[in-house]
Amino acid sequence: MTKSNKRLTILLLVLFMIGAIALPAFALPKQAFDNKVVKRISIDHAWGHLEYLAEEIGPRATGSTQEKAAAQYLANVFESYGYQTTLQEFNLPTNVIVPEVKVIAPVEYQLFPAPITQTALTLGGGVTGQIVDWGNSLTPPNDASGKIALMDSATNATRSTNYTTYRTAAMDAGATGIIIVQKSLNPTSLGGRVHTPTSAIPIIIVSNEQGDAIRNSLVTGETIVNIKLETQKTSYNVVATRKPQNAKKQTGKALIIGGHYDSVYGAPGANDNASSIAAMLEVARVIADYPIGMEVRFIAFGGEERGFLGSYAYVNSLSPSERAQVVGMINMEMLGSAYEPVEFMFAATSNGINNLMIDSVIDAGSRISKTVQWGGRVGSSDHVPFQNAGIPAIVYARAYPGSMPWGGGNGLEAWYHTPFDTIDRMSKERLEEATLILGAATYEILRPDTPNLKRSAIRREIDFPEVHYLVDEIQ
């Protein structure tokens, strides 16, 4: 080696050492810890859960057979990952109507309707009858008496449309029930109402797609349907728990990661909220293999769409000392929409006050993709009961940049809470991004040697370079 080369080598070594000494502690990469999780996350695994929930099971209305099937599926998956898993059953309020509707001839298949407000409930085996097609007319067909009327809504119908005239016409003709077909030209939630008093016959509304299926059955001959509308049902929370294996490293604390698995009436709920459940299941799979410094509970809540029923039931089941053990709760909502404007994710609290969970998610987002923003004050999901009980809780979701979701429709895709919330409107890339961030944030909180988060880049206002991770295929 020449003298000039030696001098250059020494100079580079000195500069490197000076740079290493000058490097502040908070700039030491957490990426090594992130990699333990994010490089093992498989979007194909997550997508498989999304497909099963949204397509194989389909709409998962609170208290329905489909919601229960989803709960059992989730319990089976968690158990296969080695978690201690329980189904927490809770009673539904009497105002929650659970529809169970089937076409039983000429071919049996399930319908996924919404009950109209002020509909009659059914007794025993429900109402079974032949369907007769009224089309878009209130004038009854000749053979309407003793049958179930199939009637089209107006093309400008919404979930608030009044169908009292439909009820009057059908009952005057002797109909035993009404199935309204939602013919709105714009995506809208299934629903509607009639004036009091409560109807004497059951009235439900189905999507245009399911209405077409019924009419196709009518072409082949007599079509028989059974309608059950009942209350006083139950729903379930799926609680999957893992405790630290090393007793010496147990802190006596617990972290809760959660999201709801039910959907609104008639909606497959691909984005709202099978996407979040898919992300949670995949993070749970990966976390199951690593040492943790505190207990972790992954919880899939039932009944969120009817007023956070599952999360309230869970929080109310905790004693004051059990609540004090929970360091925080991360609640997920709608993480995978392909709707182009829904580009960013946010983390928010129900009281608008920052907490450790916010810092963890935004910090992880800064390392993964820089797409998680502080969302301020946002309610309307399963984090609310936890925050109300004094447990630091957040919602982690996807919405328009700078907008607030669940506020007059702002920040949400047009098919939110409609039968069009289907898997073809989902993005694998966006779901993967959200899952990576969730995994990094979860492990940062759980791992036994988590550094002081007060030295995180977010608090120090240091701009991390953007980091892209390649997801390794799981062997």
Domain residue spans in the chain? 27-94+233-460, 98-230
Domain covering 27-94+233-460 assigned CATH 3.40.630.10 in the classification: yes
Residues 231 and 98: beta-carbon distance below 8 Å: yes
**SS3 of 34, please?**
helix
Contacts of 125 (CB under 8 A, 6+ apart): 226, 228
Among candidate residues 211, 169, 192, the one with its CA nearest the CA of residue 116: 192
CATH number of 98-230: 3.50.30.30
Sign of CA dihedral 396, 397, 403, 407: negative
- Give, for 216, the enclosing helix (H) or strand (E): helix 208-220
Among candidate residues 73, 27, 466, the one with its CA nearest the CA of residue 261: 73
Residue 348, number of CB atoms within 10 A of its CB: 24
- Angular region, 135: left φ>0, alpha ψ -120 to 50, beta rest: left
In b/e form, how buried is each residue of 299-311, taking b as 16+ CB within 10 angstroms?
bbbbbbbbebbbb
For 200, phi then psi, to 5°, come to: -90, -10
Q: Would you state the pLDDT for residue 450?
A: 56
At 140-151, the pLDDT tens digits run 999 999 999 999
At 236-285, the pLDDT tens digits run 999 999 999 877 767 789 999 999 999 999 999 999 999 999 999 999 99
**Which pair of tokens denotes residue 23?**
């490097």
- Low-confidence spans in the chain with pLDDT less than 70: 1-30, 249, 400-411, 448-475
Common-topology check for domains 27-94+233-460 and 98-230 = no
Among candidate residues 68, 75, 131, 74, the one with its CA nearest the CA of residue 100: 68
- DSSP character at residue 162: B
Q: Would you state the pLDDT for residue 111?
A: 98
Residue whose structure tokens are 């609170």? 62
